[in-house]
Amino acid sequence: MSPIRLGVIGLRGMGGGHVRAVSKHPDARLLAVAEIDAPLAETVAGRHDARAYTDYRRMLEEQPLDGVIIATPHVLHAPMTLNALDAGMHVLIEKPIAMRVSEGDRMVHRAEERGLILAVGHNYRTFPGNLMLKRLLDEGQVGPLYRVHWQWLENRPDSYYQRDRWRCTWRQAGGGVLMNQTSHDLDLLCWLVGKPVEVSAMIGNYAHTHEVEDTVVATIRFQTGAYATLQLSTCGSSLNSRHLWGEQGEIVFRDTRNANVHIPEHFQIGRYRTSFHETIRTDPNIAGQPDISWEDIDCSGREHPSLLDSFINAVRGKGRPVTDGVSALQTLELINAMILSGVRKRVVTLPIDRDDYDAVFEDLCRGNYALK
């Protein structure tokens, strides 16, 4: 079977990793790269016997590609994806799928209309700890979820933003901690718990010189009836902490070394001797607590195909991407809903009004709302 012919757009940051992954993949061939930094494009192309472009549109026109991988600033995700889909190419795009859900709608619709794969780089679904957490929930090991507490805290000094100035503005990044860092967590949360239907959030910029939010505190109600509370911030020491409560037990997933953890240092499941409703109804002790049996969870051996593996398989008609455009759009809508709630200071129901969010986003870009 012939290898999938791919091009990579954007070579800094994640783009370089995508080039290396494609060049090593037995079922892929790197034909071309596109990067506005001409010397960088020529250097990378020369290493991999590929063609270099400074204008990605010329690459789309001239190269016989099956698909492209896009790793550019957020503001370019929607236009580049739409152009690639119009050129008949499958697309794997870095997260987030877009900055505004109205853009994401067009991208998903265009891919469906043309029968093309649209995959998004939410790679948390491939981590061993998260795969095991998904399995425990899907198997009903703690019963239906009713409550979740989720924290992602990791410091990002101003030097991080000085390196990539585009991350500092609403116009180019579309958001701060929600878009840049925790869109992965929010994608994972929706994958684990289900569709969000109501959001209340406070957003602010506590310590940074950039425009966008660095701290978010939010509550979410899901279609399943579960509630979640979230604390997300780039002003804090590394902490990945998740506590999920169900009718039959609870799960604790925690790491203080790395907020983007693959295998957590503390991962336990606690099973109740009796269901929570039964404990509430029958315990004679006015401060009665569930009788819990705790067990450590080992997730070190679990593996999942990479995002590139799943993209190539999907292009060949063998399954779906790890994260497709439809599910990534749900994550983006949740992010937009949090920003809308924080700016308008009200509870937001989903699906959100696209025109309403676009108006708020334009006001944020113009500096009409101050988050300090």
* Per-residue pLDDT reduced to its tens digit, 165-192: 999 999 999 999 999 999 999 999 999 9
Give the domain CATH number at 210: 3.30.360.10
Instruction: Mark whether 210 and 349 lie in a shared domain.
Output: yes
**328 is a domain residue:** no
pTM equals 0.97
* Per-residue pLDDT reduced to its tens digit, 255-306: 999 999 999 999 999 999 999 899 889 888 888 888 999 999 999 876 677 9
How far from the centroid of its chain's Cα atoms is residue 338's Cα?
15
Nearest to 151 by CA among 28, 17, 301, 252: 252
Instruction: Mark whether 190 and 70 lie in a shared domain.
Output: no
Instruction: Mark whether 317 and 269 lie in a shared domain.
Output: no
Nearest to 33 by CA among 68, 74, 3, 80: 68
* Per-residue pLDDT reduced to its tens digit, 47-64: 999 999 999 999 999 999
Q: Is the peptide bond before 290 cis (omega within 30 degrees of 0)?
A: no
Which pLDDT value is given to residue 301? 75
**370 is a domain residue:** no
How does strand 4-9 pair with strand 67-70? parallel
pLDDT band at 372 (very low <50, low <70, confident <90, very high): confident
**264 is a domain residue:** yes
Q: Which amino acid is at 272?
A: Y
CB atoms within 10 A of CB 120: 32
- Apex CA 75: angle with CA 345 and CA 11, to 5°? 135
pLDDT at residue 200 is higher than 80: yes
Count how many domains the chain has.
2
Residue range of the domain that includes 36? 4-122+305-323
Instruction: Mark whether 149 and 285 lie in a shared domain.
Output: yes
**115 is a domain residue:** yes
Instruction: Mark whether 40 and 139 lie in a shared domain.
Output: no
